[in-house]
Amino acid sequence: MLLAIDIGNTNTVLGLYHKDNLVHHWRLETKKERTADEWAIFLKELLQFEKKQFSEITDVVISNVVPSMQRAITEMCSRYIKKNPLIVGPEIKIDMPIETDNPSEVGADRIVNAVAAFHRFKTHLIIVDFGTATTFDYVSAEGEYCGGLIVPGVGISAEALFTRASQLPRVDIAKPKKVVGKNTVECMQSGIYYGYVCLVDGVIEKMEKEIGHKAKVLATGGLAHLIAQDSKRIDAVDEFITLEGLKLIYDWNCPGP
């Protein structure tokens, strides 16, 4: 089985593939101080819940946007799984031209998402990833990664509001009952939620105007399902698109017999 690991700034998502099927998946908090041994303990316990063990993992593929974690994860793979992982980077085959000023600057997760989305839809695409940052990425109908936008994520925007405005309480990020709030909590929830819904739809509209095409819009990330409820432009939501992209990239770089 193939273990796919997507290391993000807030969460690390792991998926276990049997052939082309995602059979198990887990989400852990990303902790930079976690050692290789600690990662191994977490993974071993997760596998045991599914009656699996390290010896059943035949290979590992990783996308990582937290460089300080690379050593611990790589060491965990080599010591406990007995495999050197394939790490998504500029030197590996991705079967997608990167049409940006400096391709090596583009986050691995953004490229992996783009690869998986284009492989599935084969048309003009905008991928919105609701992570620590909210990213918008455009892929042309010819399968070229053409760049995008990065804005502060929903969570860190809300956190800035809580910490910098002394009289405002901490609230859950949730869809409010009404747009016009009748108390402070309702006003904050409405502002956070509908502010981001309008941000997403507005950015997509401007992207399409600039590129001159309507695009299929795919959302992913932890808050994708929430924001998609009222977005007029999000066409589909897939929280595992990054894992799917990692599986594709592994297949291109490590073809079977």
Active site residues: 109
Contact 73, 62 (CB under 8 A): yes
Measured between alpha carbons, how far is 143 from 119 in angstroms, rounded to an integer?
9
Residue located via tokens 């990582």: 64
What residues form DSSP beta bridges with 77? Answer: none
Beta bridge partners of 152: 133
Handedness of CA 160, 236, 210, 248 (dihedral sign): positive
In degrees to the nearest 10, what's the CA dihedral of 99, 103, 108, 113?
0
